[in-house]
């Protein structure tokens, strides 16, 4: 019963103003108006820049009940770190960026429920960034669990769920083509070689964000996180 009372109390504030803030990079440009929310679109931003703007007061988070963040894709970009770091070294940097982002939010808002959205795969440089994307999402999930935040694994909608089988045209033998965990190319734009989502990919992201923030999925996530805002 105490859990039920807590959930009801937490969502009572949704009757007043816009208690949800959605912060995304360019991936969120197709997002429509979502109930009880305001959306800050930060095209080209990485996590450190978000941190700077929070401390500078350019991104205001006081008084919010839920803060949904989709950021990190620009930090994955191989052109940013490829010449100076290995992928696991870049991972350590990004882990610290998440720590600093969480600290910045909690400096100005100690009671909002924070949701970290997983970074999506990038077909354009997957050979370089694939391991980093997977490892960073695993870290986000673990960090969210430790700090009673939400983790939105939207990444799973954009990768193959299993390997595929094909038959060799010469020998006729069946062979396994490794696909599991690799990007589903048809959800990404052709013109930029898979750097951004196409309309279909954007629709999936929009649908999943709306399903999370406009239905009981959010209540379930808050409860599972053990959050006590």
Q: What does pLDDT average to over the chain? A: 86
Task: Give the pair of three-digit tokens for residue 13.
Answer: 């504030």
pLDDT in tens, 96-140: 999 999 999 999 999 999 999 999 999 999 999 999 999 999 999
How would you class 47 by CB atoms within 10 Å of its CB: exposed for 0-12, middle for 13-18, buried for 19 or more? Answer: buried
pTM (2 decimals)?
A: 0.87
DSSP assignments along 43-61, one per residue: TT--HHHHHHHHHTTSS--
The answer to whether residues 70 and 28 touch, using CB atoms and an 8 Å cutoff, is: yes
User: Which CATH code of 2.60.120.10, 1.10.1060.10, 3.40.50.1110, 3.40.50.300 fits the domain covering 2-225?
Assistant: 3.40.50.1110
Distance (Å, rounded) from C-alpha 125 to C-alpha 163? 20
**Count of alpha carbons within 13 angstroms of residue 60, beta-carbon side:** 5
* Stretch (H or E) spanning 4: helix 2-12
CA distance readout (Å), 114 to 157, 162, 213, 225: 21, 31, 12, 10
Distance of CA 82 to the CA centre of its chain: 22
For the chain, the structural domain boundaries read: 2-225
Question: Contact, 177 vs 163, CB < 8 A?
Answer: yes
Residues 177-212: pLDDT tens digits?
A: 557 889 999 999 999 888 889 999 999 999 999 999
Mean pLDDT value across residues 31-36? 86
């Amino acid at each position: 019963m105490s859990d039920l009372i807590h959930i009801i109390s937490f969502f009572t504030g949704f009757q007043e103003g816009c208690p949800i803030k959605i912060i995304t990079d360019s991936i969120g440009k197709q997002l429509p108006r979502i109930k009880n929310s305001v959306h800050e679109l930060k095209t080209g931003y990485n996590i450190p820049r978000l941190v700077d703007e929070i401390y500078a007061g350019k991104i205001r988070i006081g008084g919010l009940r839920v803060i949904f963040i989709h950021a990190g894709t620009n930090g994955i970009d191989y052109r940013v770190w490829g010449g100076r770091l290995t992928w696991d070294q870049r991972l350590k940097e990004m882990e610290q960026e998440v720590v600093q982002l969480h600290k910045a939010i909690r400096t100005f808002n100690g009671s909002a429920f924070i949701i970290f959205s997983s970074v999506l795969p990038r077909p354009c440089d997957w050979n370089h960034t694939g391991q980093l994307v997977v490892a960073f999402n695993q870290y986000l999930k673990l960090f969210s669990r430790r700090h009673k935040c939400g983790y939105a694994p939207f990444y799973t909608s954009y990768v193959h769920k299993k390997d595929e089988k094909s038959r060799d045209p010469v020998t006729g033998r069946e062979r396994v083509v490794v696909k599991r965990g690799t990007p589903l190319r048809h959800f990404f734009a052709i013109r930029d070689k898979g750097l951004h989502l196409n309309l279909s990919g954007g629709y999936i992201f929009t649908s999943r964000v709306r399903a999370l923030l406009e239905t009981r999925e959010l209540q379930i996530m808050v409860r599972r996180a053990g959050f006590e805002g």
